[in-house]
C-alpha cells in the first residue's frame, strides 16, 4: 500500500493508479509510484510483477489503460517515446539500445544529430559528445565505434545520451548485470553525481547489496500491485525478500504420494564457457526436481545442453546410469528425453499446423510405412492424447494457433509423451497460461511423475517450484548454490540463494 | 484418389479463391471471344502451361519450407544444353535425358548444401547458382543453340495419350505425385513443419538440414523436366533458354495461394496459378491486346491474387476462432 | 455452411454455361483477320514494321493483329503466341522468327491449320523446314548479307583500308544477325589490313552492348572501328565509347536505320547505318497476305532494297 498520498514539493514524477491489461493477463492493477528530484527510487519485484510494463508506460513505449502521470506537477500523456523524451524522461534498457557500427558521438545524438545548412555537423557533434562524456568522468573517444567498447563503456555512452537529452527522470533497468565490481562502483559514483544535480532515478534491480548501497526509497511490486513502499534506511533485507516472494500457494494441488526409483538422469560436472560452472545433479524416476533461480541463472542452458542443442565444454550425461553422447535432438529423443521449451510459440509448436500434426511430428517415422504416413494411426494417437490430457479442441484437425495458451502447452506435453520420453525437461511450463489451465497442468505433471517419468522442472515462478518439487535446486549465475528437500524448502530460503545473500 | 472430403476442402478451403479467379477469367474470355472455349484452344492452353507448371512444382516445395529458388531458369538452360550435347554425341535419347535430369538434381543439391551448410540465405545462394549455371550453359554450348534431335525426343512434346497432349499428361502426373507426397508422406509433413516453424521442427528431432537439401534437389529436378519438355518442343537446346522462368514459377506458386513465408499452401493451388497465367496470356493473344498491356495485365493479376488470398486467409482465421 | 452452398451453386452454374458455350463457332467477322508476329515490340525496327503493316491493312480492309514476346531471345513465347493465333483462326500468319530453326514446329502447325505463312526479315532455316515437311508462302526481306557487305565496304573506304575493328554480334543462331556478320566479314576478307580484333555477342540489347563495348575497350583501347549488327546495340556502344572519351577515334556502323541512329549520324557521333525499310516490309507483308486471301499466287522471294545512310 502506498505510504504517500499528498504531493510533495520536489516531486519529479507521480504515477497514480496505473492499469494495463494484456489479453488474458492484468499486468498492472492500479500501481502508484512517487519519485522526488534527486532521489534514487528502487523498483523491486519478481519476474512478471509488472516492473518492465510500468517502465514501458513511463517511457512512452506502451499506452496505459488508466491512471495519471504527472511530471514536475504537470500532467503528461506520454503517448509515444518522442513525447516521453520531450518530457525529459530517458530509459536505459537492460539490453543496450546502441548501434554498434556507428560511433559514440553518432549514437549519443541518434536521431537528433546537429546539422548545418542541412548537412551533418560532425565537429559540433563530437564536441558536444565530449562535453557530456567528461561530465560523467568517462574517458571515451567519441570517434570510436561503439562495437569496440566494453559493456561498461557502452553503458556510459547510454547515460551520456540520457544526459544530452537533459533527462530529468532516468530509468535504469538492471544496469549492473554486465558490470564488474569496479565498474559498478564507478557507475554508482556517476549516479550520485546525477542525483546531486537533481535528476530523479528509477532503478530496477534484484541485487540487494546495490539497493542498500545507492537506493533512497524502495517500492515492491507483486502481481501488478504495490506491496510496499519504504525508505531504504528503514528496510530489512529478510523482510524485503519475503515481500517479493510471498503469495498464495493454494492454487496447487497437494502432491500425490510418489515412490521414487532409480536415477534416470545423472549429470556430472557440466560446464560451458561462463554460462555454466560444474553443474551436477540427478533425477530419479517418479521424482520432480525443481530448478529455481532468477532469469539468466543458467537453467535453460542446462536443458539445452543435455538435449543436444548446444555443445558443452565439460561434463558427462548418464541415462539409466549409462553414459550417453547426445549431439542433436534426435539423439536426445532416442535416449528418451523430452524438452518442453520456455517459448511454445517459437520453439514448441508449429502454430500453422493441426493438433494432430504437432503431436505426431517427432514420431512420424514410427507411424509410417515406406515413407507413407498411416493416417489412422496418426489420428488415433492424437485423439488419445487429447483425451488423456484433457485438451480442449473441437477436433484434432484444429490448427494449433487457434487454441488457448493452456491447451497449446498441453499439446507440447502430449507431443513428448507420444515419443515415450521417460525424462522430461519442463522450462517455464505455465508461463502465460490462465489459472484454470495452470491447475490442470500441475495435475498432469504430478500424474506423469507418478507414472515413473523423471521430471526436471525449471521455473522462475517460486510457488510453482515449491509446490511441485520433491527437491529444489537453486541456481545463480551458472552454478548450483543450494539444494533443499521438500521439507526444507521455503520461499525465503530459495530466494536468498537465488539473489545471493 | 481425390476423396469427397478433399473436394469439400478445396471448395471451402483457400484454393477456392484461386479456382474462383480462374473460373471468372475463363467465363470472361468465353464471353469476349469465341475462339477461347474450343477444345483445340483449351488443349493448347494446357500444353502451354506445362512449361512453367512443371518448374512450379519444385518451386512449391521450396517455398513451402520458407525458401526460394532463383536459379531454376538457368538450370533449365543448363540441362537443355547437357541433353543437347549428349544427343549430339550420339548418346541414345533415354540416356541423354537421364544425364540431363541428373545434372539438374546435382545442381539443386548444391543449392541445398550452400543453404544448409553455409549457411547462406536461399536468395543469395540460388542467385549465385543462377549466374553460375547460365555461364556453364553458355560455356558448354559455346553460346550457340544445338539442334536437330531424333524423333524419339520430339515425341515427348508432340505425342498424345488418349488424345491428351503428352506434356499435359506429364504435368498432371507429376502434380498428382507431388500432391500425394505432400499430403501423405513423412517427407511431405516435414515440408510443412519446416516452413511453419523451423526451430520447433529441429527440436522435434527432425533432420532439417538433410530435408532442406533434398527439397532444392527436387527443384533442380523440376527444372530438368522442364528442360526436357522445352528441348522436345523447340527441337533445339538453347543456352539462353529459361530467362525469367523463375519469376513466372514464383508467380504461379504465389497466385496459387502458397505463402512466401512458408508452411502453408498446396500444389493444387500452384497448378491453378499456372493455369491462370496461361489462360491470361492466351486470352490476351486471342483478343489481340497490345504486348505492352499484356505485361501490365500479368502484374496486376499477381497483385490481385495475393491480395485476395490474404483477405481470404484472414477470414478463415477469424471464423475458426 | 451457407458460404459453401452458394459457392457450389455458382460453380455448377458457371460450368453449365461453359459447356453450353463451347459449341459456339467463330462469328462472321466483317473483315478477314491477319496476324503479324514480330521478334519484339521493344525495338523501333519492328514498331516501324507494325506501322507500315497497319497502314496497308487499313487501306486494304483487313483486320490486323500484332503480337510479340517481350524479348527477342524468347522463342518459346513466340511459339505460344502463334499457337494461340492459330486458334484465333487468322487467315494469314506473318512472322519474324526469333529462332530460325526453333520456330519450325510452329510453322508446321500453321500449315496443318491451312494458314499460309509469310516470313519477314529473318529467314526460317530451309533445311529444318524441309525435314519437318513444312512450307512458307514467301520470304519478304532484305538481303542481310548484302547489307553487312555494304557496311564493311563503307568502313574500308572511310578508313583507308587500315583499321582495328570490333564487332558486336546479335543473338547467336539468329539468321538475321548471322547473315549480316557473314556479309561484313566477307567484305573485310579482301583487305588484310582491316583487322578484326574482337567479336562478341550482345544479344541485340542496348545495355548489354554498353557493357560489352566497355570491356572490349579495356582489352583493345586502340580500336578504330566498330560494327554492330543492329542500331540498338550500336547506340549502346556509342555511349560506352563516349564514356571512355574516345568519341572521335572510333567509327561506328549500325544496322536498321532507327531514328536515334539517324540522329546520331547527323550529329556525327555515328558513322553510318544500313537502312532496311521495315515500313516497306510491313506494307508488303500485308499486301501479300491480301493476295493470298484472294487466292493469288505470290513469288517465293520478295527482296526489299537496302541503302547505306551516312
A126-162 pLDDT per residue, tens: 998 998 888 777 788 888 988 888 877 888 888 888 8
Higher-confidence position of A250 and C199: C199
Domain contains C2: no
- Subunit contact C3:B285, Cβ cutoff 8 A: no
Over range A186-212, report the average pLDDT. 85
Report chain A's mean pLDDT, rounded to a whole number.
85
**Residue-range definition of the domain harbouring residue C135:** 33-142+278-304
**More confident position, B160 or A207:** B160
| pLDDT on residue A254 | 57
The neighbour count for residue C130, using CB atoms within 10 Å, is: 11
> pLDDT value at position A114?
79
Chain B nearest-CA distance from A21, in A, is: 21
Per-residue pLDDT band for B9 (boundaries 50, 70, 90) equals: low
pLDDT of residue A325: 92
pLDDT tens column, A282-340: 999 999 999 998 777 888 899 999 999 989 899 999 999 999 999 999 999 999 999 99
| Number of domains making up chain C | 2
C-alpha cell at C122: 529473318
Question: What is the average pLDDT across A270-290?
Answer: 91
CB contact under 8 A, C102 and B235: yes
Helices (H), chain B: 4-12, 15-32, 39-64, 72-88, 93-117, 122-141, 151-158, 166-184, 186-196, 198-203, 208-234, 245-255, 267-286, 291-319
Question: B193 at the A interface (CB within 8 A)?
Answer: yes
- Is residue C116, in this structure, part of any structural domain at all? yes
Asked whether the beta carbons of residue A372 and residue B185 sit closer than 8 angstroms, the reply is: yes
Distance linking the first and last C-alpha atoms of chain B: 31
pLDDT at A252 over 60: no
Indicate if C124 and C193 belong to the same structural domain: no
Rounded CA separation B119/B112 (Å): 10
Model pLDDT, residue A6: 47
Q: Which one, of C308, C310, C277, C302, lies nearest residue C183 by Cα?
A: C308
Q: pLDDT by residue (tens digit) across B97-152? A: 999 999 999 999 999 999 999 899 999 999 999 999 999 999 999 888 898 788 88
In a domain, C8, yes or no: no
Helix, strand, or coil here: B238? Answer: coil
Residue A355 in grid coordinates? 493438433
| Cα A451 to Cα C182: distance, rounded to the nearest angstrom | 88
| CATH code at position C137 | 3.40.50.2300
C136 and C47 belong to one structural domain: yes
Inform me whether the C-beta atom of residue B236 falls under 8 Å from chain C C-beta atoms: yes
In a domain, C19, yes or no: no
Per the domain annotation, does C26 fall within a domain? Answer: no
b vs e for A36-62, b when ≥16 Cβ sit within 10 Å of the residue's Cβ? bbbbbbbbbbbebbbbbbbbbbbbbbb
Among A164-178, C21-35, C266-280, where is mean pLDDT lowest?
Answer: C21-35
Lowest mean pLDDT among B15-19, B264-268, C44-48: B15-19
Residue A257 has a pLDDT of: 66
pLDDT digits (tens, 9 = 90+) for C9-45: 545 554 545 444 444 444 445 789 999 999 999 888 8
pTM tops 0.80, yes or no = no
Q: State the DSSP H helix or E strand holding residue C232, giving kind and residue range, or none if neither.
A: helix C231-243
C199 shares its domain with C116: no
Q: Is C11 part of any domain? A: no
Backbone angles phi, psi at C73, to 5 degrees: -85, -5
Per the CB < 8 A criterion, the answer to whether A453 and A285 are in contact is yes
- pLDDT given at position B161: 87
Write out pLDDT tens, residues B29-86.
999 988 899 888 898 899 999 999 999 999 999 999 999 999 999 999 999 999 999 9
Residue C305 pLDDT grade (very low, low, confident, very high; cuts 50, 70, 90): confident
Closest CA in chain A for residue B263: A352
User: Cα distance from B177 to chain A (closest Cα, Å)?
Assistant: 13
Q: Per residue in B180-209, pLDDT tens? A: 999 999 999 999 999 999 999 999 999 999
Nearest to B267 by CA among B205, B210, B218: B218
Domains within chain A, CATH numbers bracketed: 11-245 (3.40.50.300), 263-499 (3.40.50.300)
pLDDT at B3: 55
In a domain, C12, yes or no: no
Contact A267, A317 (CB under 8 A): yes
**Percent residues over pLDDT 90 in chain A:** 33
C–B contact: 3+ Cβ pairs < 8 A: yes
* Judgement on whether residues C148 and C228 belong to the same structural domain of the protein: yes
C132 and C191 co-located in one domain = no
Q: Which residue has the higher pLDDT, C7 or A375?
A: A375
Residue recorded with cell 547462406: B120
Judgement on whether residues C51 and C164 belong to the same structural domain of the protein: no
- The share of chain C scoring above pLDDT 70, in percent, equals 91
**C79 part of a folded domain:** yes
**Same domain? C265 vs C223:** yes
Would an 8 Å CB–CB cutoff place B295 in contact with chain C? yes
For chain B, list the domains and their CATH numbers: 4-314 (1.10.3470)
C219 and C131 part of one domain: no
State how beta strands A368-369 and A372-373 pair.
Answer: antiparallel
Above 60 in pLDDT, residue A425?
A: yes
| Range from A198-207, B206-215, B237-246, C176-185 that averages highest in pLDDT | B206-215
Using the beta-carbon criterion (under 8 Å), do C88 and B292 form an inter-chain contact? no
Please say if the pLDDT value at position A2 is more than 70.
Answer: no
Residues C270, C151 share a domain: yes
Residue the block writes with cell 554498353: C210
- Shared domain check, C265 and C169: yes
Q: Between A and B, how many CB-CB pairs are < 8 A?
A: 81
State the pLDDT at residue A248: 45
Q: Identify whether residues C191 and C121 lie together within a single domain.
A: no
Segment B215-246, tens digit of pLDDT:
999 999 999 999 999 999 888 899 989 999 99
* C269 and C221 housed in the same domain: yes
Supply the pLDDT for residue B291: 78
pLDDT at position C23 is: 40
Residues of A with CB under 8 A from a CB of B: 307, 309, 328-330, 332-333, 339, 341, 346-353, 357, 360-362, 364-365, 368, 371-373, 375, 398-399, 401-402, 415, 419
Amino acid at each position: 500500500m502506498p505510504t504517500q498520498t499528498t504531493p510533495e514539493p520536489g516531486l519529479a514524477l507521480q504515477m497514480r493508479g496505473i492499469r494495463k491489461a494484456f489479453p488474458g493477463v492484468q499486468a498492472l492493477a492500479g500501481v502508484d509510484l512517487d519519485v522526488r528530484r534527486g532521489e534514487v527510487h528502487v523498483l523491486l519485484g519478481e519476474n512478471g510483477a509488472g516492473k518492465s510494463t510500468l517502465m514501458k508506460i513511463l517511457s512512452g513505449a506502451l499506452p496505459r489503460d488508466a491512471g495519471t502521470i504527472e511530471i514536475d506537477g504537470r500532467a503528461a500523456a506520454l503517448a509515444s517515446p518522442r513525447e516521453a523524451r520531450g518530457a525529459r524522461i530517458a530509459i536505459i534498457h537492460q539490453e543496450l539500445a546502441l548501434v554498434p557500427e556507428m560511433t559514440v558521438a553518432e549514437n549519443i545524438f541518434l536521431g537528433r544529430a546537429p546539422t548545418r545548412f542541412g548537412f551533418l555537423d560532425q565537429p559540433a557533434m563530437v564536441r558536444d559528445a565530449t562535453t557530456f562524456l567528461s561530465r560523467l568522468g568517462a574517458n571515451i573517444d567519441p570517434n570510436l565505434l561503439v562495437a569496440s567498447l566494453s559493456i561498461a563503456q557502452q553503458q556510459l555512452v547510454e547515460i551520456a545520451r540520457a544526459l544530452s537529452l537533459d533527462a530529468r527522470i532516468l530509468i535504469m533497468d538492471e544496469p549492473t548485470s554486465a558490470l564488474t565490481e569496479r565498474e559498478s562502483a564507478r557507475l554508482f559514483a556517476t549516479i550520485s553525481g546525477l542525483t546531486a544535480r537533481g535528476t530523479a532515478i528509477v532503478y530496477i534491480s534484484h541485487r540487494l547489496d546495490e539497493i542498500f548501497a545507492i537506493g533512497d526509497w524502495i517500492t515492491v511490486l507483486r502481481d501488478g500491485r504495490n506491496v510496499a513502499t519504504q525508505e531504504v534506511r528503514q528496510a530489512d533485507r529478510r523482510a524485503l525478500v519475503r515481500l517479493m516472494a510471498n503469495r498464495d500457494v493454494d492454487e496447487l494441488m497437494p502432491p500425490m504420494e510418489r515412490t521414487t526409483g532409480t536415477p534416470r538422469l545423472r549429470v556430472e560436472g557440466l560446464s560451458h564457457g561462463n554460462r555454466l560452472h560444474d553443474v551436477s545433479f540427478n533425477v530419479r524416476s517418479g521424482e520432480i526436481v525443481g530448478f529455481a533461480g532468477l532469469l539468466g541463472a543458467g537453467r535453460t542452458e542446462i536443458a539445452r545442453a543435455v538435449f543436444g542443442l548446444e555443445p558443452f565444454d565439460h561434463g558427462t550425461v548418464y541415462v539409466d546410469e549409462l553414459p550417453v553422447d547426445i549431439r542433436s535432438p534426435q539423439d536426445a529423443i532416442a535416449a528418451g528425453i523430452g524438452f518442453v521449451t520456455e517459448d511454445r510459440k517459437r520453439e514448441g509448436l508449429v502454430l500453422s499446423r493441426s493438433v494432430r500434426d504437432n503431436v505426431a511430428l517427432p514420431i512420424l517415422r514410427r507411424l509410417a510405412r515406406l515413407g507413407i504416413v498411416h493416417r489412422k494411426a496418426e489420428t488415433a494417437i492424437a485423439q488419445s492424447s487429447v483425451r488423456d490430457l484433457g485438451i480442449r479442441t473441437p477436433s484434432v484437425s484444429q490448427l494449433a494457433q487457434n487454441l488457448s495458451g493452456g491447451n497449446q502447452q498441453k499439446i507440447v506435453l502430449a507431443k513428448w509423451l507420444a515419443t515415450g520420453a521417460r525424462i522430461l525437461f519442463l522450462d517455464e511450463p505455465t508461463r502465460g497460461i490462465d489459472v484454470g489451465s495452470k491447475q490442470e497442468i500441475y495435475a498432469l505433471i504430478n500424474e506423469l511423475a507418478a507414472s515413473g517419468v523423471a521430471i526436471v522442472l525449471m521455473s522462475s515462478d517460486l510457488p510453482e517450484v515449491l509446490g511441485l518439487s520433491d527437491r529444489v535446486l537453486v541456481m545463480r549465475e551458472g552454478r548450483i548454490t543450494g539444494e533443499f528437500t521438500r521439507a526444507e524448502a521455503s520461499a525465503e530460503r530459495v530466494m536468498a540463494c537465488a539473489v545471493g545473500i | 484418389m481425390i476423396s469427397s472430403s478433399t473436394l469439400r476442402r478445396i471448395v471451402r478451403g483457400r484454393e477456392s479463391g484461386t479456382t474462383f479467379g480462374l473460373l471468372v477469367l475463363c467465363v470472361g474470355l468465353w464471353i469476349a471471344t469465341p475462339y477461347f472455349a474450343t477444345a483445340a484452344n483449351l488443349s493448347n492452353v494446357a500444353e502451354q502451361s506445362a512449361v512453367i507448371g512443371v518448374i512450379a512444382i519444385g518451386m512449391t516445395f521450396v517455398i513451402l519450407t520458407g525458401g526460394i529458388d532463383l536459379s531454376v531458369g538457368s538450370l533449365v538452360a543448363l540441362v537443355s544444353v547437357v541433353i543437347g550435347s549428349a544427343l549430339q554425341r550420339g548418346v541414345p535419347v533415354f540416356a541423354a535425358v537421364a544425364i540431363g535430369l541428373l545434372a539438374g538434381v546435382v545442381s539443386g543439391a548444391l543449392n541445398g548444401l550452400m543453404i544448409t551448410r553455409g549457411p547462406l540465405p536461399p536468395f543469395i545462394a540460388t542467385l549465385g547458382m543462377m549466374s553460375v549455371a547460365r555461364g556453364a550453359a553458355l560455356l558448354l554450348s559455346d553460346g550457340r543453340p544445338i539442334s536437330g534431335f531424333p524423333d524419339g525426343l520430339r515425341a515427348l512434346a508432340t505425342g498424345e495419350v488418349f488424345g491428351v497432349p503428352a506434356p499435359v499428361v506429364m504435368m498432371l502426373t507429376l502434380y498428382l505425385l507431388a500432391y500425394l507426397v505432400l499430403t501423405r508422406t513423412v517427407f511431405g509433413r516435414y515440408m510443412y513443419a519446416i516452413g511453419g516453424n523451423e526451430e520447433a521442427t529441429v527440436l522435434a528431432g527432425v533432420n532439417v538440414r538433410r530435408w532442406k537439401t533434398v527439397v532444392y534437389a527436387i527443384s533442380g529436378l523440376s527444372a530438368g523436366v522442364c528442360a526436357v519438355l522445352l528441348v522436345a518442343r523447340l527441337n533445339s537446346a538453347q543456352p539462353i533458354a529459361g530467362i525469367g522462368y523463375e519469376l513466372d514459377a514464383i508467380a504461379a506458386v504465389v497466385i496459387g495461394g502458397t505463402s512466401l513465408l512458408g508452411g502453408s499452401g498446396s500444389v493444387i493451388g500452384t497448378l491453378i496459378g499456372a493455369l491462370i497465367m496461361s489462360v491470361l496470356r492466351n486470352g490476351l493473344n486471342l483478343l489481340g491486346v497490345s504486348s505492352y498491356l499484356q505485361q501490365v495485365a500479368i502484374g496486376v493479376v499477381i497483385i490481385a491474387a495475393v491480395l485476395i488470398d490474404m483477405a481470404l486467409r484472414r477470414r478463415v482465421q477469424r471464423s475458426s476462432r | 455452411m451457407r458460404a459453401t452452398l452458394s459457392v457450389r451453386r455458382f460453380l455448377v452454374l458457371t460450368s453449365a454455361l461453359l459447356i453450353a458455350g463451347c459449341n459456339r463457332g467463330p462469328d462472321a467477322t466483317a473483315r478477314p483477320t491477319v496476324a503479324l508476329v514480330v521478334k519484339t515490340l521493344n525495338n523501333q525496327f519492328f514498331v516501324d514494321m507494325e506501322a507500315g503493316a497497319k497502314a496497308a491493312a487499313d487501306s486494304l480492309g483487313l483486320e490486323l493483329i500484332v503480337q510479340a514476346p517481350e524479348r527477342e531471345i524468347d522463342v518459346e513465347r513466340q511459339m505460344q503466341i502463334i499457337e494461340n493465333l492459330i486458334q484465333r483462326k487468322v487467315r494469314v500468319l506473318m512472322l519474324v522468327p526469333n529462332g530460325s530453326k526453333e520456330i519450325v514446329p510452329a510453322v508446321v502447325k500453321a500449315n496443318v491449320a491451312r494458314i499460309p505463312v509469310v516470313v519477314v526479315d529473318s529467314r526460317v532455316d530451309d533445311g529444318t523446314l524441309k525435314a519437318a515437311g513444312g512450307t512458307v508462302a514467301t520470304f519478304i526481306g532484305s538481303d542481310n548479307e548484302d547489307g553487312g557487305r555494304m557496311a564493311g565496304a563503307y568502313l574500308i573506304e572511310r578508313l583507308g583500308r587500315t583499321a582495328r575493328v570490333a564487332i558486336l554480334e546479335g543473338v547467336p543462331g539468329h539468321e538475321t544477325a548471322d547473315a549480316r556478320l557473314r556479309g561484313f566479314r566477307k567484305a573485310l576478307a579482301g583487305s588484310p589490313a582491316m583487322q578484326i580484333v574482337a567479336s562478341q555477342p550482345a544479344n541485340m540489347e542496348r545495355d548489354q552492348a554498353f557493357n560489352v563495348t566497355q570491356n572490349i575497350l579495356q582489352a583493345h583501347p586502340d580500336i578504330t572501328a566498330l560494327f554492330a549488327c543492329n542500331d540498338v546495340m550500336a547506340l549502346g556502344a556509342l555511349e560506352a565509347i563516349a564514356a571512355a572519351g574516345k568519341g572521335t577515334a572510333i567509327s561506328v556502323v549500325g544496322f536498321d536505320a532507327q531514328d536515334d541512329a539517324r540522329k546520331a549520324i547527323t550529329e556525327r557521333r555515328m558513322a553510318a547505318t544500313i537502312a532496311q525499310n521495315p515500313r516497306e516490309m510491313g506494307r508488303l507483308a500485308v499486301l501479300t497476305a491480301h493476295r493470298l486471301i484472294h487466292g493469288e499466287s505470290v513469288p517465293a522471294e520478295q527482296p526489299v532494297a537496302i541503302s547505306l545512310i551516312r
